[in-house]
Structure 1
Amino acid sequence: MSYVLGIDIGVGTVRAAVCRRAAGREGWGPAQPLALGARSPQVAAALRMTADGTVVPAEVGQFPADAVRGYLNRVGDPLPMFFAGGYFPAHGLTAAMARWVVDRAWELMGEAPLRVALAHPSSWGDGRLGLLRAGLDEADLPGAVLVTRARAIVECHQAAGRAPTGGGLLGVYRLGGSTAEVALVAPQQPGRIELLASAELTDAGGFEVDGLSPADARAVLRPTVDLTAALVRSRGYGPEDLTAVLLAGAGGAAGDHVSELLGVVFPAPVVRDPQPHTTVAAGAALAGRPAVRPTAPALVGPTDAFAVLPATAPPEIARNRGAAGECPPRPPVNRVPVRAEN
């Protein structure tokens, strides 16, 4: 069955979700998490190279000394990263991770995805997006749709009926393992939003509150809530102007602390996903759904060429419009080209 693959590459883990074409009618079903790891629904964002030169991710909780991680936050850094005896650009390593996820999805689903949608930090500009596209081209993924995390979060909550599809202002808050990202968006219509502002803190996240008392955890997380309020004020609005605040990322006690702190500042509902860890991946898959029925035949075998459909899904802003194109023949499974810096 045809499907769209959504990918969320974080600092600590990588998650994916698929959105299948609904059987018997023209439409799409709900987004569902895809179990990437052998013993966990996600894999670690750390990349390692096997003895035969294959680039693969580490299992969650396992970080070999020769693995490389933190590459997503280094996209745009002119200094390459040391990996497997060489130096590689961060955007190439990010694309290598995306390529592995695509191959893993192909293995699990039995066919290639009709489209790949990759979520990225909402604050990225054209420079970083251009580098990421270059890396995806080298990894034989030139038609991948790039989706801001803010849009992915909004898409996921809208699809579940937890957020309005048009009008009003929405606060978006994602708590990662070591970062917190916030955004202010204005939904225009289903599948389209206006990103008004975004910001990120790199010294506060879910890892920092593990094992802390509730009071200490809230003290660590309070600056992220202050940043959210400051972001809203920076655009001339007040806390009372928001229709809802949408959450993603950490769940459990950290999610409870975030909800409590946001609820004190914002009178609007603070909305949580029952599966907050997969919100971004699921939203990316939803954002990547083709708007029309594809005319190309489905791909069913590993010997077929990897192909994507024209990117007809409306972007949230023009600079995030996905490129369309036919990919070259697919490389052997798990073989990911990563180009070293000269």
Structure 2
Amino acid sequence: MDLGATFTAAAVCRAGRADVVAFAPRAAFVPSVAFVNPDGSLVLGEGAEQRAATEPDRVARQFTRRVGDGTPLRLGGVSMTADALTARFVAHTVGTVAGMWGGPAAGVALTHPAGWGQHRLASLHAALAAQGLGSTVFLTGAQAAAHAYAEHVPVAAGELVAVYDLGGTGFDAAVVRRLPDGRFALAARPEELEVGGLDFDELVFDHVRRALGDQWTGLDPADPAMRTALARLRRECTLAKEALSADTDVQIPVVLPGVDTRVRLARAEFEELIRPTIEETAATLYRAIDAAGSAPADVPAVLLTGGSARIPLVTQVVSEILGRPVTVAPNPKGDAAIGAALAIGGLDADEPAARMTEEPTRVVLRAAPAPAPVRPPVPVALAAPTRPAAKFGLSRTVAAAAAVATGLLVGGGIMLASNTGPTGAEADTKLPSPTRSTEQTVTTTPPTTTKEKKAAAETPRRTAEPRRTQVEEPLPEEPANTEQTEPPESTTTTPPDTTTTTPTDTTTPTSPESPENPEDPPAEEPADPGQAERPQS
């Protein structure tokens, strides 16, 4: 069964062949409508639709959308949950098919919207179990439509099928992958919108109201005949929408109290009304394909299904937005039921009951987990080079800085600094303090002129040239100015190190985990960290 919010279709699979059940001479589906009699008995399907015009307060429509909601529906003087009403409707349909085909089915498969979660499935399963249908197999409409498609077009294991399902009250966009055992599983999380064919019916109805003008505004809403007349007019609007899939224009009969006329609607006018909604659904399908880690051009098949998929504008817009051809299901309203019958027919007779008994909320045609998205590398911002200065006290950068330091003679003083910023092995030796979240470096800069400071600050970083060490003759010691500067923030993350840092080689940078010269004695930290240690020439 393809359980829809507005219509439900059924199919029977025998010996690997599935056929749609004809509930009426010209209808391969039954309205998803329930009518409650005063005594509490239910009338379901076409009979409920016929009674809806006279007693609309006893009619329930689109109750499948309320599955999982424990709030009861009030129909006349009877209260019933949507779960119980849906289960009664499914049991009624299964019994009708059994009477038409000579006996009960060996298994039952039921489709549901791709966006339903485990709570709604468990709630519906419990209600079905109360009706003797606890072994019902659940699968999404997209999986069922793909099964029906694979009966006509070969789909190899691992290939994707994108399904555009535009139903009466909702739209589902999903991508399924063929499994090696022939089943289909969701390749990514599906997308859904609360738009469908009923919205298009309402647009046609609004067109009729605008065309009537003063005739419409002059109607009396309290007239008892208006209720029946409006229900009939809405059915005419639905028929007009369906007729425009093949005709270029239609004449909508309007019979209301004091009004008897026809309203013309051309296909071009209708397409202008629905185009924004169709474009939104096509963009949603594009997102679903992207979520599956693929591009529209790389998906072997894009399948359009659902009652409104036959509208010519749907094919045109979806093809334009995806930039590729699409396929309309041969029977958009019945293909999901055919696929569900094929899916249940391909399983062992005892398999659905056993699985549903163990895990009542699990879908037998289980979806493969969506592949984890590939995360881009985290960008790392390199610290800007600091002004050359001598390091005093044994901070965590002094060992590496001493190995690659260059002596610069500035204003008669000696200053040791690295030619490059904290990159490579040098950056690795810059470890966080075990007791403080930030680190201050005490630097001593000999007196310099303003021009010399500017020249030192504008010295370009050199990363490609080998590091060199230049030592000048020391001048007489002069008093030094001491200033504290905060090291630049860096996004480079290094593991904490509790061992003593070993100086690195001047030619080959090494990591702190594997020092070049392990035999060198570790540097000792002075008792007073603030005491300046003069560099040796």
Please indicate, yes or no, whether the TM-score normalized by the shorter chain is above 0.5. yes
Match for 1:9: what amino acid? Answer: L
Q: Structure 2 unaligned runs (5+)?
A: 202-240, 242-264, 366-537
Q: How does 1:30-41 map to 2 (within 5 A)?
A: 31-37=18-24, 40-41=27-28
Partner of 2:347: 291
CA contact (8 A) 1:116 1:143 kept: yes
Partner of 2:363: 320
| Alpha-carbon shift at residue 67 of structure 1 (Å) | 1.2
Partner of 2:2: 8
C-alpha spacing 1:67/1:37, structure 2 compared with 1 (3 Å) = farther
Partner of 1:311: 352
Aligned-residue CA RMSD (Å): 2.7
* 1:75-127 superposed Cα distances (whole Å, 9 cap, x missing partner): 12232211352222211111111101111011111111111111011111111
Q: 1:127 aligns with which of 102, 119, 125?
A: 119
| Alpha-carbon shift at residue 188 of structure 1 (Å) | 2.0
Partner of 1:213: 270
| Alpha-carbon shift at residue 222 of structure 1 (Å) | 1.1
Partner of 2:279: 222
CA contact (8 A) 1:155 1:191 kept: yes
Secondary structure of the structure 2 residue equivalent to 1:277: coil
Say if 2:321 is the partner of 1:265: yes
Say if 2:50 is the partner of 1:62: yes
Question: Structure 2: how far apart are the matches of 1:245 and 1:290?
Answer: 24
Question: Structure 1: how far apart are the matches of 2:292 and 2:41?
Answer: 47
Say if 2:29 is the partner of 1:42: yes
Secondary structure of the structure 1 residue equivalent to 2:123: helix
**Count, aligned residues:** 290
Q: How does 1:144-163 map to 2 (within 5 A)?
A: 144-161=136-153
Higher relative contact order (CA 8 A, sep 6+): 1
C-alpha spacing 1:38/1:92, structure 2 compared with 1 (3 Å) = farther
C-alpha spacing 1:220/1:194, structure 2 compared with 1 (3 Å) = closer
Instruction: Give 1 or 2: higher strand fraction.
Output: 1
* 1:1-26 superposed Cα distances (whole Å, 9 cap, x missing partner): xxxxxx112111111111112xxxxx
CA contact (8 A) 1:291 1:312 kept: no
Bigger radius of gyration = 2
Match for 2:36: what amino acid? Answer: M
Q: 1:193 aligns with which of 185, 209, 216?
A: 185
Give the stretch that moved more between structures: 136-145 or 70-79.
70-79
Partner of 1:4: none
Give the stretch that moved more between structures: 176-185 or 108-117.
176-185
* 1:23-70 superposed Cα distances (whole Å, 9 cap, x missing partner): xxxxx22x1110124763222111113466542323286361111111
CA contact (8 A) 1:174 1:249 kept: yes
Partner of 1:180: 171
| Alpha-carbon shift at residue 251 of structure 1 (Å) | 5.3
C-alpha spacing 1:238/1:320, structure 2 compared with 1 (3 Å) = same
* 1:159-204 superposed Cα distances (whole Å, 9 cap, x missing partner): 122x514223221111111221111222223123234121221134
Return structure 1 stretches of 4+ with deviation > 4 angstroms: 50-53, 312-315
Match for 1:13: what amino acid? Answer: F
Partner of 2:99: 107
CA contact (8 A) 1:244 1:268 kept: no
Partner of 1:118: 110
Q: 2:333 aligns with which of 248, 271, 277?
A: 277
Match for 2:351: what amino acid? Answer: P
Question: Structure 2: how far apart are the matches of 1:260 and 1:253?
Answer: 11
Match for 2:29: what amino acid? Answer: Q
Secondary structure of the structure 1 residue equivalent to 2:71: coil
C-alpha spacing 1:231/1:310, structure 2 compared with 1 (3 Å) = closer
Secondary structure of the structure 2 residue equivalent to 1:77: coil
> How high is the TM-score relative to the length of structure 1?
0.77
| Alpha-carbon shift at residue 314 of structure 1 (Å) | 10
CA contact (8 A) 2:3 2:9 kept: yes
> How high is the TM-score relative to the length of structure 2?
0.50
C-alpha spacing 1:40/1:50, structure 2 compared with 1 (3 Å) = farther
C-alpha spacing 1:201/1:62, structure 2 compared with 1 (3 Å) = farther
| Alpha-carbon shift at residue 71 of structure 1 (Å) | 1.3
* 1:190-237 superposed Cα distances (whole Å, 9 cap, x missing partner): 123234121221134365163652233323311111111122223443
Question: Structure 2: how far apart are the matches of 1:80 and 1:270?
Answer: 42
Question: Structure 2: how far apart are the matches of 1:125 and 1:219?
Answer: 29
Partner of 1:234: 291
Give the fraction of aligned pairs with identical amino acids, expressed as a percent: 28
C-alpha spacing 1:193/1:312, structure 2 compared with 1 (3 Å) = farther
CA contact (8 A) 1:191 1:313 kept: no
